[in-house]
Structure 1
Amino acid sequence: MQPTKTNIFLYLVAILVNLLSFSIGVSITWITSVIPKVDGSTITDDNPFGRLLTASEISWIAGFLPLGAAIGPLAVGKISDKIGRKKSLLILGCVNILSLVITVFAKQTVLFYISRFLAGVVLGSSYSVIPVFMAEISENHNRGALGCSVGIFVAIGMNFALVAGPYLSISVYSLLCISPLLIFVPGFFILSPETPWYLAARNDEKRLTKSLLKLRNKTVEEIHLEMTSILEVVVENETAAKAGVRDLCTNNTLRKSLLICLVIICLQQCGGIAAVLIYMPKIFEAAKTNLAPEICAIIVGVFQVFGTIVSSVVVDRLGRRILLLVSSVFTCLTLVTLGLYFRLNLSDVVWLSWLPLFSLVVYIFTFNVGLGPVPWVVMSELFPSNFTSIAAALTSSTCFMNTFIVTVTFPYLSTFLGMANCFFLFTVVTICGAIFIYMVLPETKGKSLQEIQKLLGSCG
């Protein structure tokens, strides 16, 4: 089917939102290129501190990002329900600009802590607002693809940081990272409407009509059925329950939805992805690969982008559940391979020097086919509209609290347990998650948000 004007404008809005996704991707791996500049054997011009940082300082510069990401969603979820998805995203874009401006001029570690904490608040909050925004502007047939597009742009942003970071000073690097946000803020402000579901929840039928007319590019008569359906569902949800944490825990269907989201998001982070991305150069250095660590990181990043693109193409065809299971199996296999590589000291075996890079390429690719983007798509689908924001906030906060724990503890765990045992520990988590997905997660492919709620209720 040829794309219509509806598709074109809808995708234009999605691209603008994903400039923020790109920016939060940059913030995730921004530290990967900075660590070698401040943790080398000598002080260089690229080091803004005038001294080498300690392992503790570096771990906290890395750790303040997920710490802020764990805290941010708890406040932004409520704010998003009050001021709207559009205004929330614009505020997050402006805060992200501020965080990068700080790193342009910072020469003290405390300013880096502040910058990374602010970037973390934006990161976690964006993961709780952007998936909701995408779900609420999309239609049934493209909801999965638009949801996974967030992962594509995050991956591109992460890869951009890996490519540009090693070859630029921290100040120039940070200035370059601001540029997509300078397009996002005015472009999104001018072009994007508020989401139909948010406007329906506010009983603003006039703006709801305008929003649907823009996003669907249909006549008033053609959007009438969708508008009526949205209004009916919103009224039904508001009549049934108030959106509170207590309701999430006491209602059987909502409790099951929350449990599914929290478990798969813990699987996502405790499977080692944060440690792999942030400390990738250190892992390659320990593995004694033939290529320079920064080149290996770039190669891995390219496959990360490729994986998210594959996910967005097949998620609405194959389904959410199968992608998560396949992703879990292959990430598990690669973690075992890496664990054995370090346990058997194979770094001294010249003909196996390719194995760490190959394993991490497969790990990152398969992670981004399923475990990376799909949990956020699932999260945006499992809750009624009046519970989506609070559920997204709890899920996002849980996600990044796990990221914080993994990020801060990995340097110590790798020292005391050894690199091999760290990878084996990540393997155990991944196996447990795969079993949970197989036993509990329902397939939501092609179903409306209303049908998904009925499915969860019947499975309760």
Structure 2
Amino acid sequence: MSEKKEYEYGPVATNENGAEVDAVRFNTESNGVTILSQNTMVSQQNHNSQPGDKKFLYLAACAANLAAFTCGQAFGWTSPEIPILKSNGTENPLGQPINPSQEGWIGSFLPLGAMLGPFAAGMVADSLGRKKTLLVGTTPFLATFLLGALGGSVNMYYLSRFLAGLAVGCIFTVLPMYIGEISDNETRGQLGSFMQLFIVVGLLFSYALGPYLPFATFNYICLGIPVVFLIYFFMRIPESPYFLVLSGNCEAAIDSLVKLRSKSRDSVQKEIEEIKLAVDDATTNKKSFFDIFKERSLTMALVISVSLVALQQFSGINIVLFYAQDIFTNAGVSLAPEICTILIGIVQVIASGVTPMLVERKGKRFLLLLSAVGMAISQGALGYFFYVKDGGNDVSNLSWLPVASLVLYIIAYCLGFGPLPWAVMGELFPGEIKAAASTVTASGCWLLGFLITKYFNVVTELIGTGGSFGFFAACCLFAAGFVWKCVPETSGKSVQEILDILGGNTKA
């Protein structure tokens, strides 16, 4: 496999007789090329040095990540709303409490839908476009929160959560693609970290408002964010220039780059040529998913990618996010459960903001190891608390332990196993196979999320709450061993260098 080269300039231009010319630029009237004189080329080189203003690029990234914020709202929705649906109070829109099986389905329908979302997104992202796919993929959230506000039967909440899952699976697949394609080399890493940050801010939004607002009111407020996203993103934010070149619309790609870079048309010509080279390379060398198993390095890359997201799920993250308020209620902590949940949300936002800075200094492998060990300690401590409590012993002197354990767990998760499995996945595969590998990895992740969320209550009845969190702690210890043994450091390495390591050609 040849290493993809980064070209300093575009391909050598020739005239109709095959002779080399100084430079080319797109002609807005004829869609052909215009031969530039030497003086014009010098002028264009001056334009290429134009720094531009990155404000609109950051605005575009923030606008796109309103979709991620809505995902966070959906993740956090169950924490304040499930306790209401389980209550006998007048605030319960069902009029009667749900049973444990219904609770499990409400929690697990989101990851079930998210398992299917990547396949739908993958099929249309290259035909419909990144922007339109994000718009279409976010639309189910409108029905999600409307059903949440109006739902009078448990089946409507099942449908609501399933639709939320479809949207989540689509957004998790297409949003990183869109952000990566609109970013420049200087901002790609920073803008790529926005998704995790917006998700946890959305979680905090649900944690902070859900317990204190009427059921319907909270859902109507949640509905407002995707509405704002759909309107603003559709009207103001351009399509990915990479997709526009891929679809043969180079003029629109230039217009998109002009807007994103806040530069003149001449000054974005070099970047357009680089995008064309990347598109040509990816189109020429495009592979199917099954081609992964023809090379040892790609097979190992898939094993690592799938294993990291699987271990992410087996750390118990969905249980913590979906049922945080219930966990604190069952633990009988001295603080109000909803206050503890808000505290967890705040810690998550802070930790997610720190992670990008630590990645640059310490690397991904170190942070994954630290994350796995920290989660193992915190889940083990939480398991011990519930083991003592469920054994009928007095735990009043340990009332601080559940809060401390989950705070430590959230910090450890956000430092490593939250954002980094997806970042590592993006670095393991070359462009011609990345879409197929990403779709399978994401779907596998959400399949496990569905199974764990659906059957958590069943397993808890068999082995106790302490045993369940003890199992998660053991999985986190296994995750540390897996990272130590199998995962190379990917930071600062090209895709080919990483594949050479995985293929046994060079040492990590």
**Shift in Å, 1:226:** 3.3
Q: Could you list the runs of 4 or more consecutive aligned residues of structure 1 that deviate by over 6 angstroms after TM superposition?
A: none
Partners of 1:9 and 1:37 in 2: how far apart?
42
**Shift in Å, 1:112:** 0.9
Aligned match of 1:427: 473
CA contact (8 A) 1:260 1:441 kept: yes
Aligned match of 1:9: 56
**Shift in Å, 1:458:** 5.0
TM-score under structure 1 length normalisation: 0.92
Of residues 63, 74, 81, the one that matches 1:27 is: 74
Partners of 1:413 and 1:99 in 2: how far apart?
29
Gaps of 5+ in 1: none
**Shift in Å, 1:350:** 2.7
Of residues 400, 404, 416, the one that matches 1:358 is: 404
Gaps of 5+ in 2: 1-50, 504-508
CA contact (8 A) 2:85 2:98 kept: yes
CA gap of 1:81–1:249, structure 2 versus 1, over 3 A, is: farther
Of residues 83, 108, 113, the one that matches 1:36 is: 83
Aligned match of 2:499: 456
TM-score under structure 2 length normalisation: 0.84
Aligned match of 1:207: 252
**Shift in Å, 1:89:** 0.4
Is 2:103 aligned against 1:103?
no
Aligned match of 1:57: 102
Partners of 1:223 and 1:280 in 2: how far apart?
48
Mapping of residues 386-425 of structure 1, within 5 Å? 386-425=432-471
Tell which deviates more after alignment, 377-386 or 303-312.
Answer: 377-386
- 1:417 aligned counterpart, secondary structure: helix
**Shift in Å, 1:437:** 2.3
Of residues 154, 161, 176, the one that matches 1:131 is: 176
**Shift in Å, 1:376:** 2.1
Aligned match of 2:337: 293
CA contact (8 A) 1:141 1:446 kept: no
Greater per-residue helix proportion: 1
- 2:139 aligned counterpart, secondary structure: helix
Aligned match of 1:378: 424
CA gap of 1:457–1:213, structure 2 versus 1, over 3 A, is: farther
Mapping of residues 142-161 of structure 1, within 5 Å? 142-161=187-206
- 2:315 aligned counterpart, secondary structure: helix
- CA deviations on 1:199-227 (whole Å, 9 max, x unpaired) are 34334332332333322333445434433
CA contact (8 A) 1:142 1:316 kept: no
Aligned match of 2:281: 236
CA gap of 1:318–1:229, structure 2 versus 1, over 3 A, is: farther
**Shift in Å, 1:392:** 2.5
Partners of 1:199 and 1:24 in 2: how far apart?
27
CA contact (8 A) 1:289 1:354 kept: yes
Partners of 2:301 and 2:266 in 1: how far apart?
35
**Shift in Å, 1:412:** 1.2
- CA deviations on 1:134-183 (whole Å, 9 max, x unpaired) are 22222334323222210111001111111111111221111000111121
CA gap of 1:299–1:442, structure 2 versus 1, over 3 A, is: same
Aligned match of 1:172: 217
Partners of 1:253 and 1:7 in 2: how far apart?
38
Partners of 2:261 and 2:300 in 1: how far apart?
33
Of residues 98, 105, 116, the one that matches 1:71 is: 116
Equivalent position amino acid for 1:25 in 2 = G
- 1:433 aligned counterpart, secondary structure: helix
- 1:348 aligned counterpart, secondary structure: coil
Aligned match of 1:321: 365
CA contact (8 A) 1:135 1:380 kept: no
- 2:316 aligned counterpart, secondary structure: helix
CA contact (8 A) 1:131 1:377 kept: no
**Shift in Å, 1:427:** 1.7
**Shift in Å, 1:365:** 1.6
CA contact (8 A) 1:78 1:390 kept: no
Greater RCO between the two (CA within 8 Å, min separation 6)? 1
CA contact (8 A) 2:75 2:203 kept: yes
- 1:125 aligned counterpart, secondary structure: helix
- CA deviations on 1:278-329 (whole Å, 9 max, x unpaired) are 2222322232211121111111111011111111333344333222222112
Tell which deviates more after alignment, 176-185 or 251-260.
Answer: 251-260
Partners of 1:332 and 1:8 in 2: how far apart?
41
RMSD in angstroms over aligned alpha carbons? 2.1
- 1:340 aligned counterpart, secondary structure: helix
Partners of 2:280 and 2:497 in 1: how far apart?
16
Partners of 1:442 and 1:360 in 2: how far apart?
29
Equivalent position amino acid for 2:256 in 1 = S
Partners of 1:68 and 1:183 in 2: how far apart?
23
- 2:470 aligned counterpart, secondary structure: helix
CA contact (8 A) 2:285 2:432 kept: no
Partners of 2:130 and 2:381 in 1: how far apart?
43
Q: Percent identity?
A: 35
**Shift in Å, 1:67:** 0.7
Aligned match of 2:326: 282
Partners of 1:226 and 1:289 in 2: how far apart?
56
Partners of 2:260 and 2:214 in 1: how far apart?
42
CA contact (8 A) 1:148 1:312 kept: yes
Of residues 74, 84, 93, the one that matches 2:129 is: 84
Partners of 1:291 and 1:352 in 2: how far apart?
13
Partners of 1:133 and 1:258 in 2: how far apart?
22
- CA deviations on 1:303-361 (whole Å, 9 max, x unpaired) are 01111111133334433322222211211111121122223349724332111101101
Equivalent position amino acid for 2:499 in 1 = L
Aligned match of 2:229: 184
Partners of 2:420 and 2:270 in 1: how far apart?
29
- CA deviations on 1:226-277 (whole Å, 9 max, x unpaired) are 33333223322322233x2222333444433322221111111111011112
Equivalent position amino acid for 1:438 in 2 = W
**Shift in Å, 1:383:** 2.9
> Number of aligned pairs?
451
Partners of 1:209 and 1:252 in 2: how far apart?
40
CA contact (8 A) 1:289 1:353 kept: yes
Aligned match of 2:261: 216
**Shift in Å, 1:419:** 1.5
Of residues 114, 117, 129, the one that matches 2:162 is: 117
CA gap of 1:308–1:72, structure 2 versus 1, over 3 A, is: same
- Bigger radius of gyration among the two: 2
- CA deviations on 1:414-440 (whole Å, 9 max, x unpaired) are 111111221121122222222222333
CA contact (8 A) 2:245 2:275 kept: yes
- CA deviations on 1:110-144 (whole Å, 9 max, x unpaired) are 11111110001001111111112222222334323
**Shift in Å, 1:405:** 0.8
